[in-house]
Structure 1
Amino acid sequence: MIIIPSATPISPSDRAFNYGDGVFTTLMVNEHKVELLPYHLSRLEHDTAAIKLDIDIHTLETAIAEQVSAIKNASDENASKYVLKVHISGGQAGRGYARSKDSETRVRFSQHPHPSHYDSLADEGVTVICAQTRLAIQPLLAGVKHMNRLEQVLVKHEVEEAGAHDAIVCDTQDSIIEASAGNLFFYLNDEWYTPSLKGSGVNGVVRQCLVDSLLNDNCALHVGSYDLSFLRKASAVVITNALMGVMPVKQVRLTDFSVVDFDVKSDAVAALKARFNIAVGSGQ
């Protein structure tokens, strides 16, 4: 495994560039501390194993810490709240799709501003559509945050065309899977529900954190298959990811042009936000 300096140009023979042969994760750094770092590392370890990449997770953890420290100590002013993206590539060259036997996994980092509009949206809630684009079912890659993101590119195009904030995305069997760049939770009759990711979708770190927290506290949580009609029954819907945390949905535009409205200030949403904030504050 090689750590590549951020300023190094991407090689035309890089396998992530050519084939999407790699995985990534997006870290939320706040006050120079990475939120949910153990969950990010656990997922990277899982995802690289899923696509047969070798990494040293301890070396990677050290490299992340060094990157955060370098940004903190940089001579120019750097915000204490930013995004740090970790890219892990299958290396360079290889014959066609096959990796070269001596190709080493390559890791690079990139720093980005935190999306400031998330703060206001967290109070107002977001409007989402139901995407026409469907996610392919591939159990071997289910849950993996790999670099093949064309489905999400198509979904985002739909979102922008509709003037919405995000989309609810189903698989080819019409089961709800996730949002364009986050996971989904639904609240119904004092119980939380989240879609199964056995066939497709990304197992986000906030999703996994909340699943663990709810189950550890013996809270009612259901993981299963739900179609769009389930949205009419739910009293609350949230989108989760590492940058937005727990984002309430205020309205869903269904495919029959009807809409479903939700209370973004409900006690259930507030409690889930509080649960997430406790997890982040504890350094999980």
Structure 2
Amino acid sequence: MAGHCWLNGEVVATLPATDRGLHYGDGLFETIRVENNQPVWWLQHLERLLKGCRCLSIVIESGVVEQELKAFITSQIASHGIVKLMVTRGSGGRGYNSTGANHPNRLLLWYPLPKYPVSYFLQGIKLYDCQTRLGQQPVLAGLKHLNRLEQILARQEWTDNQFAEGLMLDLNQHIVEGTMTNIFWVAESEVQTPALTYSGVAGVCRQFVLEQAAQLGLTVKPGEYKVAALARAKEVFVCNSVIGVWPVTGYRHWNWPVGKLTQQLQALINAVMPCERLFSEH
């Protein structure tokens, strides 16, 4: 059974108009890179998805989700790509009251791998200074829920292609994340990153970086950091589960070299999902 969009295991072209994911963003999603017909970091994606479902009181069977995902990937012509997996509460309920919405929907979509300049991976990127601030909601912090309006507003702030990503702060001016990435930097002989206690997405690649940094014997310190913390940084990088790691070489008036840890992490990730597949021709 082929098709670039499946709903609950069946090929579809549309989602029911009554779905609460459309009406209220009542659901979650995972963006999964596929390499050689295998979902990269699938167990980590599934763990985050199940955590989000528990938080939103959406009941799904993990075995069914995994079975459908693998069948969906197998049905594709290409062996490399991106799967977007969405779980919504389904249809039902009056207004914000979800009573009666007892049949969650599982939506799978297939996309080709995105293309980026090779310089993003090798020479690094500049971060745009986003003015859109992230709200604070600790109940939802870390989850990849369907409400992404803050990121959309932030991404609309720049059209200059000298910036590949933008950095977002919260209402208290603490660093949180990029519009589509998590951020790390090395300062004072330790690896620092936002703790994501009140907002932000706990990325799967972020988890990989935290684990690898610890295995390399580095001190890892998640916390609440303001932008001034970057003044002490020796190297900065951003990451997500599609692109892997991009070095950051510029933000505001600061500049950094491509660092040793950044390159080490890139090598580790490239062994799992080669960045070369994302290189554009230009």
> Deviations along 1:206-264, whole A, 9 cap, x unmatched?
001221233345421111011111111111111110111011112112xxxxx211112
Indicate how the Cα distance of structure 1 residues 70 and 162 shifts in structure 2: closer, same or farther if over 3 A, else same. Answer: closer
- 2:267 corresponds in structure 1 to 274
Equivalent position SS for 1:232 = helix
1:13 partnered with 2:13: no
**Contact residue 175 and residue 228 of structure 1 kept, 8 A:** yes
> Deviations along 1:171-229, whole A, 9 cap, x unmatched?
10111000001101111243211101110000000001221233345421111011111
**Contact residue 209 and residue 279 of structure 1 kept, 8 A:** no
Q: Which 5+ residue runs of structure 2 have no aligned equivalent? A: 1-6, 275-282
Separation in 1, partners of 2:192, 2:264: 15
Q: TM-score, normalised by structure 2?
A: 0.89
1:65 partnered with 2:70: yes
- 1:242 corresponds in structure 2 to 241
Residue type at the aligned position of 2:264: A
**Contact residue 6 and residue 109 of structure 1 kept, 8 A:** no
- 1:256 corresponds in structure 2 to none
Bigger drift between 16-25 and 90-99 goes to 90-99
Separation in 1, partners of 2:69, 2:31: 12
**Contact residue 92 and residue 100 of structure 2 kept, 8 A:** no
- 1:3 corresponds in structure 2 to 8
Separation in 2, partners of 1:118, 1:62: 35
C-alpha displacement at 1:47, in angstroms?
1.0
1:140 partnered with 2:145: no
Indicate how the Cα distance of structure 1 residues 126 and 202 shifts in structure 2: closer, same or farther if over 3 A, else same. Answer: same
> Deviations along 1:136-195, whole A, 9 cap, x unmatched?
010000001101111001110113368521111111011100000110111124321110
Identity rate, percent: 28
Residue type at the aligned position of 2:139: L
Equivalent position SS for 1:69 = helix
C-alpha displacement at 1:276, in angstroms?
3.2
**Contact residue 118 and residue 244 of structure 1 kept, 8 A:** no
Indicate how the Cα distance of structure 1 residues 275 and 219 shifts in structure 2: closer, same or farther if over 3 A, else same. Answer: farther
C-alpha displacement at 1:19, in angstroms?
0.3
Separation in 1, partners of 2:39, 2:32: 6
Q: TM-score, normalised by structure 1?
A: 0.88
Separation in 1, partners of 2:186, 2:223: 13
Aligned length: 268
Equivalent position SS for 2:159 = helix
**Contact residue 52 and residue 144 of structure 2 kept, 8 A:** yes
**Contact residue 89 and residue 103 of structure 2 kept, 8 A:** yes
- 2:57 corresponds in structure 1 to 52
Equivalent position SS for 2:214 = helix
Residue type at the aligned position of 1:273: Q
The root-mean-square deviation of aligned C-alpha atoms, in Å, is 1.9
**Contact residue 18 and residue 91 of structure 2 kept, 8 A:** yes
Equivalent position SS for 1:198 = coil
**Contact residue 24 and residue 87 of structure 1 kept, 8 A:** yes
Residue type at the aligned position of 1:268: L
Equivalent position SS for 2:130 = strand
> Deviations along 1:80-116, whole A, 9 cap, x unmatched?
2211100111101211111133531100111111111
- 2:205 corresponds in structure 1 to 206
1:261 partnered with 2:223: no
1:31 partnered with 2:45: no
**Contact residue 238 and residue 246 of structure 2 kept, 8 A:** yes
C-alpha displacement at 1:268, in angstroms?
2.1
C-alpha displacement at 1:278, in angstroms?
5.4
**Contact residue 4 and residue 106 of structure 1 kept, 8 A:** no
Residue type at the aligned position of 1:260: W
Separation in 2, partners of 1:6, 1:26: 19
Counterparts in 2 of 1:138-177, with a 5 A limit? 138-160=137-159, 164-177=163-176
Q: Which 5+ residue runs of structure 1 have no aligned equivalent? A: 72-77, 254-258
